[in-house]
């Protein structure tokens, strides 16, 4: 079995070493233009030339959860696209989102500002019941985040394309459930895949439907959020703040107003990182299953876009 590796923003050597150790029978090489045809690929945001030159691939393993960068390309018809299925990401996402929600709810930024000035002062505790958290996307990551927030006894709402049942979470689905979901949420967390249906989903109209004092946490993709609409609603006081991990252009350009906005916390697309050894173990397991003719989890439905 031949495997080609083409990942634009990962140092290749540790991946190649890890893949060779996990798949001792396979011939694994770094892709370069003109490389010989392979059976399988391990990729992250490869150039179009990669697929143009590898039309025979049986499957391409994406070393991330989101496949929006891949689906922008012209892909060979028979190549299965397989995404990472958790591989250590959901626990990171749960800790990141819980941290952002709790930091806002418990007013830790304000406490920090006070204590830096030597002030020993208390704020009136806010009621958890007044902080319903709505999670858009109840997939591998969203469901884990929803359960983690429910553990802290926040009222948790979830929204997905198809109907779901998650313990401790009030679930809404489809376009018909969206208005009610927004009206039931004060903190809004985006964990949707980026598709034609979800691009710009957080805009002036939808964000205005959140409960008063709304707070936005975007950990999915920058293009889910209309930047200027968020800024306008923060500046007119309709929204209380935002934690943003993902941006339309990454790295976030130095002149972008998000960097210095007092109500926005920026992190550099780090909420759930790809973990190399977990990812390699998962890819090796799925490759072995595919070789045995079995189906695997995480195969992307190209028509749906995720």
Catalytic residues: 221, 269
Q: How many CB atoms lie within 10 A of CB 121?
A: 9
Count of residues in contact with ligand GLV, rule CB under 6 A: 4
Cβ neighbours for 237, distance < 8 A, ≥ 6 positions apart: none
245 binds, among ligand GLV, ligand NAP, none (CB under 5 to 8 A by kind): ligand NAP
Check binding of 132 to ligand GLV (CB under 6 A). no
Check binding of 66 to ligand GLV (CB under 6 A). yes
Return the number of the residue (4 or 160) whose C-beta is nearest ligand NAP: 160
* Torsion-angle region of 136 (φ positive above 0: left; ψ -120 to 50: alpha; else: beta): beta
| Tokens standing for residue 293 | 């003719």
Minimum CB separation of residue 202 from ligand GLV in Å reads 17
60 binds, among ligand NAP, ligand GLV, none (CB under 5 to 8 A by kind): none
| Tokens standing for residue 218 | 């975007």
Q: Are strands 2-7 and 80-82 parallel, antiparallel or unpaired?
A: unpaired
Minimum CB separation of residue 306 from ligand NAP in Å reads 5
Judged by CB under 6 A, the stretch of 6-14, 61-69, 175-183, 252-260 that binds ligand GLV is 61-69
57 binds, among ligand GLV, ligand NAP, none (CB under 5 to 8 A by kind): none
Which residues in the 76-115 window bind ligand GLV by CB under 6 A? Answer: none
User: Which of the 8 DSSP states describes residue 253?
Assistant: P
Minimum CB separation of residue 64 from ligand GLV in Å reads 3
Give the three-state DSSP class for 134: strand
Residue 27 pairs in a beta bridge with 2
Nearest alpha carbon to residue 61 among 25, 17, 28, 94: 28
Q: Are 136 and 159 in contact (CB under 8 A)?
A: yes
Check binding of 64 to ligand GLV (CB under 6 A). yes
Q: Which of 65, 70, 94, 189 binds ligand GLV (CB under 6 A)?
A: 65
Check binding of 139 to ligand GLV (CB under 6 A). no
Report how far residue 228's alpha carbon sits from residue 292's, in angstroms, rounded to the nearest whole number: 50
Instruction: Give residues in contact with ligand NAP (CB under 6 A).
Output: 65-66, 89, 137-142, 159-162, 191-195, 197-198, 219-221, 245-246, 269, 271-272, 306
Per-residue string for binding with ligand GLV, 269-298, x by CB under 6 A?
Answer: -----x------------------------
Report how far residue 164's alpha carbon sits from residue 184's, in angstroms, rounded to the nearest whole number: 17
Judged by CB under 6 A, the stretch of 60-68, 128-136, 203-211, 231-239 that binds ligand GLV is 60-68
Q: Site residues (CB under 6 A) for ligand GLV?
A: 64-66, 274
């Amino acid at each position: 079995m031949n495997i080609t590796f083409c990942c634009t923003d990962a140092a290749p050597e540790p991946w190649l070493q890890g893949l060779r150790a996990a798949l001792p029978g396979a011939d694994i090489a770094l892709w370069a233009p003109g490389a010989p045809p392979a059976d399988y690929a391990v990729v992250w945001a490869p150039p179009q030339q990669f697929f143009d030159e590898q039309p025979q691939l049986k499957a391409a393993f994406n070393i991330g959860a989101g496949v929006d960068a891949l689906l922008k390309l012209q892909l060979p018809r028979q190549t299965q696209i397989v995404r990472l299925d958790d591989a250590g990401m959901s626990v990171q996402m749960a800790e990141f989102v819980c941290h952002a929600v709790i930091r806002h709810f418990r007013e830790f930024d304000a406490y920090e500002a006070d204590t830096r000035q030597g002030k020993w002062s208390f704020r009136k505790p806010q009621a958890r019941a007044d902080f319903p958290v709505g999670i858009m996307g109840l997939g591998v990551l969203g469901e884990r985040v929803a359960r983690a927030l429910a553990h802290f006894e926040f009222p948790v709402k979830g929204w997905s394309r198809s109907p779901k049942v998650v313990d401790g979470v009030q679930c809404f689905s489809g376009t018909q459930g969206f208005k009610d979901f927004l009206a039931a949420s004060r903190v809004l967390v985006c964990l949707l895949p980026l598709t034609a249906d979800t691009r710009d989903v957080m805009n002036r109209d939808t964000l205005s439907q959140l409960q008063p004092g709304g707070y936005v946490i975007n950990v999915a993709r920058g293009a889910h959020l209309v930047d200027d609409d968020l800024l306008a609603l923060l500046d007119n006081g309709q929204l209380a703040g935002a934690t943003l991990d993902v941006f339309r252009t990454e790295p976030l350009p130095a002149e972008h107003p998000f960097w210095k906005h007092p109500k926005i916390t920026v992190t550099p697309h780090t909420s759930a990182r790809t973990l190399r050894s977990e990812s390699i173990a998962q890819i090796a397991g799925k490759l072995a299953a595919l070789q045995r003719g079995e189906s695997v989890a995480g195969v992307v439905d190209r028509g749906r876009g995720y």
